[in-house]
Amino acid sequence: MPISILMPALSPTMTEGTVANWLVAEGDKVGPGDLIAEIETDKATMEVEAVDEGVVGRILVPAGTENVAVNTPIALLLADGEAASDLDAAPPPPAIPAAPAVAEPPAPAVPAAVAAAPPPLEAEVPAGTAMVAMTVRDALRDAMAEEMRRDGNVFLMGEEVAEYQGAYKISQGLLDEFGPRRVIDTPITEHGFTGLGVGAAFGGLRPIVEFMTFNFAMQAVDQIVNSAAKTLYMSGGQMNCPIVFRGANGAASRVAAQHSQCYASWYAHCPGLSVVAPYDAADAKGLLKSAIREPNPVIFLENEILYGRSFEVPDLDDHVVPIGRARIVRSGSDVTIVAFSIAVDWSLQAAELLAAEGISAEVVDLRSLRPLDLPTLLQSVAKTNRCVTVEEGWLGCGIGAEVAARVMAAAFDDLDAPVARVGGADVPMPYAANLEKLALPDAEAIAAAARATCYR
C-alpha cells in the first residue's frame, strides 16, 4: 500500500505552509535522507527529506500551493514491488492519534502539601537537656564535622576552606581531622566549582559547597537553579542532587553594594530548592545537619555579623532541626513580627521597645524560607490579628511580600490591619557609614511599623 508523505511542521508554531518547490518528479526513486521538496513556512524556506525508501508515485500538491495545512498528504510513495495502479488504492492518511486519555481525575490546582495540617511539632530538644554556650561559627563547624564523621560521602569544598581554615574561620580544624581528600580548596572559580559539586552530587556524593559570600554565587546561579534544582523534575524523579550551598548572605559592614546583598528571595522563588536562614547557634547547627542529610539541594544562608555571636546550644550528640518549621522566639499577643536571620535580633530589640509601651509583640523566626511554615504563621496571626514582616533585603518581590500574600489569602478575616513590611532601602548598599545605617532596617523602624498596625 503506498505511503503518504505528509506536509510537515517545521517549527514549534507552524500550522500551515507553502509547497514551494518539488525536488523530485513522479517516477523518481528516493531513499531516507534524500531531499524531496522545499517548504516555505512563516519564517523560512526549508528542505524536506524522505524518510522511507520507494518511488514517487504521485505528487498530490503541486509546487506553489499556499496554505497547505500540516499533516495534509502531499505525495504518495510506492514501496518495493508496488505499481502505479496501487495508487488509487491508497488509503486515507493515518489520522494522527491523539495521546490516549488519562483515566485519573485532574490534580488539584494547589499541591496538597500547602493545605495540609502542620506536622506535629515534637520538642526539638528533650526536656532537661544541658545547654552550652557556643558561637554560630563553632556551631556550623561542629555540624559539618559531625556529619562528615557520620557519612564518608560528605565533603567540603570552596575558596580557602582548607589550609586557610575558612575565610571566616568556619572550617577551622576540618582539614586536620579529615584531610585534603574531603576538605578541598578550590580556585576562585564559582561557576566551575558549583557545577563540579552538582556533578559530584549526581554521582552520589554529598558536597557542601561554601561560597565565601553569596554575592559570589551570582556567578553560579545557572548551575544552582538550572542544574541542581531542576534536574530531579526533568529526569522524572531519577536524578536527585544532595548538595548544600552555604555561606554568608546579606550585608556585613562597610563593604558596599557588590558585597552586601540579601539573596533570600532569589532562591526562595525556585521550586526544587530548600532555603534556610538560621538566626542563632542552635538552629545553625541543627539546620545545617538536616541540610547535609537532605537528598535535595539546600541553600543555607548565614550572616557574617552573627558568626561571632554566642548562644545556648543543646549539648546533644545529634541535635537536628527539621527544615520547614518556624519557631516562636518570643510570645506576645498584640502583633506578630516575622523575621529571619539577623532580622530576628532587630525584631527582638523592637519587641523590647514595644513592651515598654504596653504592646506585646510575638516574634516568629521563619528559619526556613522555602518551604514556608504557613501553619505556624497563621496560628500566630490568629492570636495577634496583626503582622509585620522584616528582612534586610529589598522589599520588592521579597520574602515579606510572599508572607503578606500568603497570610492575606489564608487569614484575611483574622487581620485587623494590613500586613506591614520592613526592609532595606531600595538602593544599592552605600559605603558611607551614615548612609549604610540608613539603608538597613533597625529596631526602631520595626517598632514603628508594629505601632502602625496597632493604630498607635
Partner 1 sequence: MAKTTRRRRKTAPAAVAATVDEVLGYYREMLLIRRFEEKAGQMYGMGLIGGFCHLYIGQEAVVVGMQAAIGEGDTVLTSYRDHGHMLACGMDAKGVMAELTGRAGGYSKGKGGSMHMFSRERNFYGGHGIVGAQVPIGTGLAFAHRYRETDRLSLTYFGDGSANQGQVYESFNMAALWQLPVVYIVENNQYAMGTAVGRASAQTELFRRGESMGIPGMQVDGMDVLKVRAAGDQAVKHVRAGKGPILLEMKTYRYRGHSMSDPAKYRTKEEVQRVRSERDPIDQLRENILEAGQADEAALKEIDREVKDIVTEAAEFAQQSPEPDPAELYTDVLLEA
| Interface segment toward partner 1; rule CB under 8 A; list 121-129, 142-150, 183-191, 433-441 | 183-191
Comparing CB distances to partner 1, the nearer of 44 and 127 is: 44
Under the binding rule (CB under 8 A), the answer on residue 155 touching partner 1 is yes
- Sequence-distant (6+) residues with CB within 8 A of 190 are 211, 216, 217, 219, 220
Q: Which is nearer to partner 1, 10 or 301 (CB)?
A: 10
Asked if 309 is part of the footprint of partner 1 (rule: CB under 8 A), the reply reads no
- Least distance from C-beta 199 to partner 1, angstroms? 2
Contacting residue, 116, 239, 427, 438, with partner 1 by CB under 8 A: 239
Is residue 53 part of the annotated active site? The answer reads: no
SS (HEC) of the chain = CCEEEECCCCCCCCCEEEEEEECCCCCCEECCCCEEEEEECCCCEEEEECCCCEEEEEECCCCCEEEEECCCEEEEEECCCCCHHHHHHCCCCCCCCCCCCCCCCCCCCCCHHHHCCCCCCCCCCCCCCCEEEEEHHHHHHHHHHHHHHHCCCEEEEECCCCCCCCCCCCCCCHHHHHCCCCEEECCCCHHHHHHHHHHHHHCCCEEEEEEEEHHHHHHHHHHHHHHHHCHHHHCCCCCCCCCEEEEECCCCCCCCHHHCCCCHHHHHCCCCCEEECCCCHHHHHHHHHHHHHCCCCEEEEECHHHCCCEEEEECCCCCCCCCCCCEEEECCCCEEEEECCHHHHHHHHHHHHHHHCCCCEEEEECCEEECCCHHHHHHHHHHHCCEEEEEEEECCCCHHHHHHHHHHHHHHHHCCCCCEEEEECCCCCCCCHHHHHHHCCCHHHHHHHHHHHCCC
In this complex, which beta carbon is closest to partner 1, that of residue 13 or of residue 85? 13
Question: Measured from the CB atom, is 158 or 250 closer to partner 1?
Answer: 158
Q: How far is the CB of 447 from partner 1 (least distance, A)?
A: 38
| Residue 92 binds partner 1 (CB under 8 A) | no
CB of residue 203 to partner 1, shortest distance in Å: 3
Using rule CB under 8 A, residue 62 touches partner 1: no
Select from 173, 192, 375, 430 the one that contacts partner 1 (CB under 8 A): 192
Task: Select the span of 197-205, 257-265, 277-285, 414-422 touching partner 1 (CB under 8 A).
Answer: 197-205
**Is 201 a residue that touches partner 1 (CB under 8 A)?**
yes
Residue range at the interface with partner 1 (CB under 8 A); choices 127-135, 167-175, 182-190, 422-430? 182-190
By CB under 8 A, tell whether 233 contacts partner 1. yes
How many binding residues for partner 1 (CB under 8 A)?
A: 72
Query: Which residues between 100 and 129 bind partner 1 (CB under 8 A)?
Result: 100-102, 104-107, 111
Cβ nearer to partner 1, comparing 71 with 310: 71
* 212-231 positions binding partner 1, by CB under 8 A: 222-223, 226-227, 231
177 is catalytic: no
Is 95 near partner 1 (CB under 8 A)? no
| Contact pick of 83, 203, 434, 455 for partner 1 (by CB under 8 A) | 203
Q: How far is the CB of 402 from partner 1 (least distance, A)?
A: 17
Site for partner 1 in 255-274 (CB under 8 A): 271-272, 274
Mind telling me the catalytic residues?
A: 190, 259
